[in-house]
C-alpha cells in the first residue's frame, strides 16, 4: 500500500514536471518559424481578411466574399481595368462584335492548361457559361442576354444574344464569369465543389482549405503566363475578424495586407514603420432612397429640400472617418459614366426650408421613417447626423435598424404607405457598367426589386436602355448618354447621393506590386505581387 | 436502487427540457422577422430565385408542418443546412466542435490544477496574506470582463513580449511544412500522437492564451468554493480527532478534509463548464479560434437560423448533461443518500 502511495506521489510530480516543461516549450513558440527547414526560401503572401475567405466553392454559384479566392484560382475571358476603360486579355486573345451587337466572337488563347492538366478549348468556355446559366444561381443573371453559345472551332467561341448587351463587360465580371475545366467538373463526384475542390486555370491552385477559416494556395507550374520574375510561391488568405488582431498582425509584419480597419487604427498605422496605408476609390456608394409613391415625397420639391438638408461633409468626416467622398451623381468616382460636372447638392438648410415652404409643408408637420441595415455603423452614424439636421428645419426623422431581409420586405409592401420613407443601401456593380446602378436602382419595375425609390420615368428608361445597347460597341457615346440620364435623376432627386466609399488598405512595405482594381472588390491578384526587402 | 430511479427521473426530465428548448428556439427563430429564402439565395436574388428557394426549403408549408419535419430530421441526426455556407449544420458542428472541446478541456484542467491548491492553501492560511491574495485573485478572475482579459493578454504576450501567437489554432506556415495526421479530429491530440515536437509546441503555444482566459472564471470559482467547503469541514469533530491523534497536518488537510469537500467543488466545476462553453463564444472570436464560438458569432449576425438552432441545441444538451453529472455526483455521495 505504502509503495503504491509513493508511486502515486512520484507520478503526480512527473505530471507537474511534464506540464511545466510543456509551458516552457510553448513559450518558445514564437520563434518556430526561425527553425531551419528546407523550404525556407518559399515566399508566402498573407492576406488577413475580415470575414470568411470563401463559403461556396462553386464558381458558377458563388456571389459573395469568395471572389477574393476564386479570382486567383480561376480566370475569366477578359479583365476590366476601370482606370483605362480597357480590357486585359486573360483567356481570350481578342474578340469582335457584329455590327448589330448581337454576335460576339472570342478568340481563345492557345496552350492554356487547367489545373487538372487538360487544355482549355472552346468547349470548356461553352460548358462553363452554359452551366452557370443553367444553374441560374448567384449572379448568373448577368448572362441574361445570351441565347446561345457556339464552339466554332477549338479556339473560337461565339455568343449569340437576343438583345444587345456589352458582353465584354459581362465576361469580365468578378462573379459568375469563371471558366472551368469541363473534364474535371463533368467527372466530379457528388458535392465535389462543396468539399473544396477547384477546376481553374489561374496562376494559383488550391492547396488546402479549412472551411470558413483559411485558404492556402500554391503556384500552378503550367500557368500560361509563366513564372518569370518575382512571384509568391504560396498565398494564405485567413479570416481574422477582430480588427485589433488585423492591426497587430500588420504592425508586426505577420500579415502582408489587410483592409476594413477602423479609422483610429488607420491613423495609428500611418505612423508605424514598415506599414503603408493606401487609400483607393471603391465602386461602392451609399444612397438614401425616397419613397416617391408616398405623400409628400411624391413632390420633387420636398425631395430636393431633403437633399439640401443632408450633412454631406459631416457624414464623410465622422461616419466614415474621412475615407469617402461626397457623391456626384449616382456613378462613383473612377468609374466610367461618372462626371464631375454634374450638379452636386450641398448642405443648405435655408434653401431646404424655402423649398419645404414652397411645397406647403408646415414646421413640425413632416415625420419620416428611415431604415438602414442593422449592424452597419456608417449607415447608423449617417442617419443620426441627418436626423440632427432635419430637426433644425422642423422635420422629425425616426431611425430604425433592420436586418437586410426585413428591411427589403418592408420596402416591397404592396401599400406604399406601409413602406419606409427613406431606405439606405449600398450599391456596387455586378458588371462594371453604369447600367448596373441606373437600371437596377432607377429603371421602372413591374415588380419591386431594387428600385427603392419606386422611380419611374419613361424618358430616363429609354436613354439608359439605349446607352446599354451601344455600350458594347461605342463606349464613349454610351458614357455621354449615361451622364445625361443622371442629369434627369439629379433634377428629380429620387434619392440622396450620400457618399462614394474609399477602400483603405494596410500593407506591409515589403509587399510590392499590388494595384487595387475596384471592379473586383477587395480582390488581391497575387500573381502581380512579390516581396522585396 | 433509489439512485437508479433518481437518475432515470433526471434523465427523463432532461429530455423534456431538451424538447422544450427545441420547440422554443424553433418558433423564436421563425418569429424573428427575416426571410430565410432570400438569405439562402443571397443579397441580389431575383424574385424567381427566392420563390424557388422558398419551395426548396419547405418554407411554403404551414409552420407546424415545418416543425414536424425539423423534429423528424433531428431524430435522424439531420440539423438542416446552413443558410450561409449551404453545408449540413451537423458537418459544420463536427468541424467546429473539437477545437472548442479542446479549449474547454484545457481550461478545466487549469481550473483543477490551479484552483484546488489555491483554495486549500487559502483555507490552511485563513486570514493570512495568502488567503487575502487568493480572495483578491478569485474575485478579480470572476469579475474581470473576459474580452478585456483576452485583449490585454494579446497585447502583453504577442505585441510586447513576442512570446505567444496572436490567435488561431496552429501557425499556417507550420501547417504547410508538416503533415499533421487526422486521427481523432482533435488537433492537440493528433499532434501529440504524431510525436512531432515542432507541431506540438506550436499547437500548445496557441492554446495557452485562450485557455488561460477561459480558465480564469472556473479557477476563481473553484478556489473560493474549495476554501469555504474546507473551512467548514476543518471545524468538524473528526478533523479535531485526527489532529489530536497527532496526524500530520498535510495528511489531515489533503487526505481527510479535501476528499470530503470535493463533492461541492466538482459540482461547481461541472456547472462552470456550462458557463465556460458560453464564454468561449466571445473568447474564440477574439483569438480567431476556429471553434463553435466563432461559428455561432457569425451565424447570429447573419440570422442563419439552422446554424443558430444547431449550436443552441448542442449547448442545451451539454448543459443538461453537465447538470445531470453534477446531480449524480451528489446523489452518489453517501451523506446525501437517504
ipTM attached to this prediction: 0.72
Q: Could you tell me which of A183, A239, A334, A317 has the C-alpha nearest to residue A46?
A: A239
Model pTM score = 0.80
Evaluate whether A140 touches A133 at the Cβ level (below 8 Å): yes
Using CA atoms, how far residue A119 sits from A132, A200, A235, A532, B301, in Å, is: 20, 11, 25, 34, 43
- Of all residues in chain B, the percent with pLDDT exceeding 90 is 4
Count of alpha carbons within 13 angstroms of residue B39, beta-carbon side:
25
| CA B128/CA B282 separation, integer angstroms | 36
Kindly state whether A63 is in contact with chain B, defined as any CB-CB distance less than 8 angstroms.
yes
Residues B144-148: what's their mean pLDDT? 87
Residue-wise pLDDT for B25-79, tens only, equals 888 877 776 777 877 777 677 777 888 888 888 888 888 888 888 888 888 888 8
Name which of B49, B95, B172 is nearest A137 (Cβ-Cβ).
B49
The helix/strand/coil state of B231 is helix
Q: Which residues of B85-115 are buried (b: 16+ CB within 10 A; e: fewer)?
A: bebbbebbbebbbbbbbbbbebbbebbbebb
Q: Are B242 and B252 in contact (CB under 8 A)?
A: yes
Q: What is the pLDDT of residue A128?
A: 96
Does B223 lie at the interface with A, CB-CB under 8 angstroms?
no
- Helix (H) / strand (E) element for B322: namely helix B305-332
Cα gap A390→A167, rounded to integer Å: 44
- The three-point CA angle A119-A121-A126 to 5° equals 130
Name residues whose C-beta falls within 8 Å of residue B334's C-beta, 6 or more positions apart in sequence: none
Which residues in A lie closer than 8 A to residue B195 (C-beta atoms)? none
pLDDT of residue A242: 82
Say if the Cβ atoms of A52 and B298 lie within 8 Å: yes
Share the mean pLDDT of chain B.
Answer: 83
* Nine-digit cell string for A401: 435598424
CA angle A193, A197, A198 (to 5 degrees): 100
β-strand pairing of A422-427 with A275-290:
antiparallel
Q: How far is B69 from chain A (nearest CA, A)?
A: 24
Cell of A249: 498582425
**pLDDT, one tens digit for every residue, chain A (533 residues):** 444 455 555 555 555 555 544 444 444 434 444 444 444 578 999 999 988 899 889 999 888 889 999 999 999 999 999 988 899 999 999 999 998 889 999 999 999 999 999 999 999 999 999 999 998 888 888 998 999 999 999 999 999 999 888 999 999 999 899 999 999 999 998 889 988 899 999 999 999 888 778 899 999 999 999 999 999 999 999 988 888 889 989 998 989 999 988 888 898 899 999 999 999 999 999 999 999 999 889 999 999 999 999 999 999 998 888 899 999 999 999 999 999 999 999 999 999 999 999 999 888 889 999 999 877 888 999 999 999 999 999 999 999 988 777 788 889 888 999 999 999 999 988 888 999 999 989 999 888 888 999 999 999 999 999 998 888 888 889 999 999 999 999 999 999 999 999 999 999 999 999 999 999 999 999 999 999 87
* Summary count for chain B: helices (H), strands (E): 16, 0
Whole-number Å distance between alpha carbons of A215 and A196: 10
Please name the residue of chain B whose CA is at the shortest distance from the CA of residue A39.
B177
Mutate to test the interface with A, among B31, B177, B284, B305 (most CBs of A within 10 A): B177
Looking from the CA of A339 toward its CB, the CA atoms found within 13 Å total: 15
Distance CA A228, CA A221 (A): 11
**Residue-level pLDDT at A467:** 92
> Distance between CA atoms of A42 and B42, rounded to whole angstroms?
38
At residue A28, the pLDDT reads 40
Cα-to-chain-centroid distance, residue B126: 32
Please give the C-alpha separations between residue A359 and each of A302, A347, A457, in angstroms, as whole numbers.
6, 19, 21
Q: Which three cell numbers stand for residue B273?
A: 463548464
Q: Which residue of B has its CA nearest to A239?
A: B288
Residue B304 near chain A (CB below 8 Å): no
Amino acid at each position: 500500500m505504502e509503495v503504491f502511495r509513493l508511486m502515486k506521489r512520484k507520478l503526480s510530480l512527473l505530471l507537474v514536471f511534464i506540464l511545466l516543461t510543456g509551458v516552457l516549450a510553448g513559450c518558445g513558440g514564437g520563434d518556430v518559424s526561425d527553425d531551419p527547414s528546407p523550404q525556407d526560401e518559399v515566399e508566402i503572401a498573407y492576406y488577413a481578411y475580415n470575414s470568411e475567405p470563401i463559403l461556396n466553392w462553386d464558381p458558377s454559384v458563388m456571389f459573395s466574399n469568395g471572389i477574393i479566392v476564386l479570382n486567383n484560382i480561376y480566370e475569366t475571358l477578359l479583365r476590366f481595368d476601370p482606370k483605362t476603360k480597357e480590357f486585359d486579355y486573360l483567356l481570350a486573345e481578342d474578340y469582335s462584335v457584329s455590327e448589330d451587337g448581337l454576335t460576339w466572337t472570342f478568340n481563345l488563347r492557345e496552350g492554356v492548361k487547367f489545373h487538372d492538366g487538360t487544355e482549355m478549348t472552346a468547349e470548356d468556355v461553352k460548358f462553363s457559361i452554359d452551366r452557370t446559366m443553367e444553374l441560374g444561381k448567384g449572379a448568373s443573371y448577368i448572362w441574361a442576354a445570351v441565347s446561345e453559345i457556339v464552339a466554332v472551332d477549338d479556339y473560337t467561341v461565339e455568343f449569340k444574344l437576343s438583345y444587345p448587351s456589352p458582353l465584354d463587360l459581362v465576361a469580365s465580371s468578378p462573379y459568375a464569369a469563371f471558366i472551368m475545366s469541363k473534364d474535371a467538373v463533368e467527372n466530379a463526384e457528388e458535392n465535389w465543389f462543396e468539399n473544396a475542390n477547384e477546376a481553374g486555370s489561374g496562376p494559383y491552385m488550391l492547396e488546402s482549405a479549412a472551411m470558413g477559416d483559411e485558404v492556402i494556395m500554391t503556384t500552378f507550374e503550367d500557368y500560361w503566363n509563366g513564372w518569370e520574375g518575382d512571384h509568391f510561391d504560396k498565398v494564405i488568405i485567413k479570416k481574422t475578424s477582430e480588427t485589433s488582431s488585423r492591426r497587430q498582425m500588420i504592425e508586426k509584419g505577420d500579415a502582408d495586407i489587410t483592409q476594413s480597419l477602423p479609422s483610429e487604427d488607420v491613423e495609428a498605422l500611418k505612423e508605424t514603420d514598415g506599414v503603408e496605408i493606401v487609400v483607393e476609390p471603391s465602386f461602392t456608394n451609399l444612397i438614401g432612397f425616397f419613397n416617391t409613391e408616398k405623400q409628400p415625397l411624391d413632390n420633387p420639391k420636398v425631395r430636393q429640400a431633403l437633399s439640401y438638408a443632408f450633412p454631406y461633409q459631416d457624414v464623410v468626416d465622422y461616419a466614415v472617418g474621412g475615407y469617402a467622398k461626397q457623391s456626384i451623381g449616382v456613378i462613383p468616382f473612377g468609374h466610367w459614366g461618372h462626371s464631375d460636372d454634374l450638379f452636386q447638392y450641398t448642405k443648405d438648410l435655408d434653401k431646404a426650408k424655402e423649398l419645404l415652404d414652397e411645397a406647403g409643408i408646415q414646421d413640425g408637420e413632416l415625420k419620416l421613417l428611415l431604415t438602414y441595415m442593422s449592424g452597419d455603423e456608417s449607415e447608423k452614424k449617417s442617419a443620426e447626423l441627418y436626423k440632427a439636421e432635419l430637426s433644425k428645419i422642423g422635420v422629425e426623422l425616426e431611425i430604425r435598424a433592420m436586418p437586410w431581409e426585413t428591411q427589403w420586405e418592408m420596402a416591397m409592401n404592396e401599400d406604399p404607405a406601409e413602406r419606409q420613407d427613406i431606405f439606405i443601401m449600398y450599391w456596387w456593380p455586378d458588371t462594371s457598367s453604369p447600367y448596373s446602378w441606373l437600371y437596377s436602382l432607377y429603371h421602372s419595375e413591374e415588380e419591386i426589386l431594387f428600385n427603392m425609390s419606386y422611380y419611374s420615368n419613361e424618358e430616363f428608361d429609354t436613354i439608359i436602355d439605349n446607352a446599354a445597347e451601344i455600350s458594347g460597341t461605342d463606349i464613349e457615346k454610351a458614357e455621354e448618354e449615361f451622364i445625361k440620364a443622371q442629369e434627369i435623376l439629379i433634377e428629380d432627386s429620387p434619392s440622396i447621393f450620400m457618399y462614394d466609399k474609399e477602400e483603405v488598405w494596410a500593407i506591409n512595405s515589403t509587399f510590392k506590386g499590388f494595384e487595387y482594381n475596384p471592379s473586383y472588390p477587395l480582390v488581391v491578384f497575387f500573381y502581380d505581387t512579390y516581396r522585396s526587402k | 436502487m433509489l439512485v437508479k430511479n433518481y437518475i432515470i427521473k433526471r434523465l427523463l426530465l432532461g429530455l423534456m427540457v431538451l424538447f422544450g428548448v427545441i420547440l422554443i428556439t424553433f418558433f423564436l427563430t421563425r418569429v424573428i422577422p427575416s426571410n430565410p429564402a432570400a438569405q439562402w439565395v443571397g443579397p441580389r436574388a431575383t424574385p424567381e430565385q427566392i420563390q424557388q428557394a422558398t419551395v426548396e426549403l419547405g418554407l411554403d408549408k404551414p409552420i407546424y408542418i415545418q416543425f414536424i419535419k425539423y423534429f423528424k430530421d433531428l431524430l435522424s441526426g439531420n440539423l438542416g443546412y446552413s443558410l450561409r455556407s449551404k453545408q449540413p449544420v451537423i458537418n459544420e458542428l463536427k468541424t467546429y466542435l473539437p477545437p472548442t472541446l479542446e479549449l474547454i478541456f484545457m481550461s478545466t484542467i487549469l481550473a483543477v490544477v490551479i484552483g484546488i491548491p489555491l483554495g486549500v492553501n487559502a483555507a490552511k492560511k485563513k486570514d493570512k496574506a495568502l488567503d487575502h491574495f487568493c480572495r483578491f485573485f478569485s474575485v478579480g478572475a470572476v469579475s474581470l470582463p473576459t474580452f478585456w482579459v483576452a485583449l490585454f493578454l494579446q497585447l502583453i504576450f504577442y505585441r510586447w513580449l513576442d512570446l505567444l501567437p496572436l490567435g488561431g489554432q496552429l501557425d499556417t506556415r507550420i501547417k504547410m511544412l508538416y503533415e499533421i495526421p487526422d486521427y481523432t479530429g482533435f488537433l492537440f491530440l493528433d499532434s501529440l500522437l504524431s510525436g512531432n515536437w515542432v507541431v506540438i509546441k506550436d499547437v500548445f503555444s496557441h492554446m495557452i492564451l485562450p485557455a488561460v482566459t477561459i480558465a480564469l472564471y472556473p479557477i476563481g470559482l473553484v478556489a473560493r468554493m474549495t476554501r469555504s467547503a474546507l473551512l467548514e469541514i476543518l471545524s468538524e469533530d473528526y478533523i479535531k480527532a485526527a489532529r489530536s491523534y497527532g496526524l500530520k497536518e498535510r495528511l489531515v488537510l489533503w487526505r481527510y478534509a479535501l476528499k470530503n469537500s470535493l463533492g461541492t467543488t466538482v459540482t461547481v466545476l461541472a456547472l462552470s463548464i456550462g458557463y465556460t462553453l458560453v464564454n468561449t463564444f466571445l473568447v474564440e472570436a477574439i483569438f480567431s479560434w476556429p471553434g463553435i464560438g466563432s461559428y455561432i458569432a457569425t451565424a447570429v449576425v447573419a440570422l442563419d437560423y439552422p446554424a443558430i438552432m444547431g449550436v443552441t441545441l448542442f449547448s442545451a444538451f451539454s448543459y443538461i448533461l453537465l447538470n445531470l453529472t453534477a446531480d449524480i455526483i451528489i446523489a452518489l455521495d453517501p451523506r446525501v443518500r437517504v
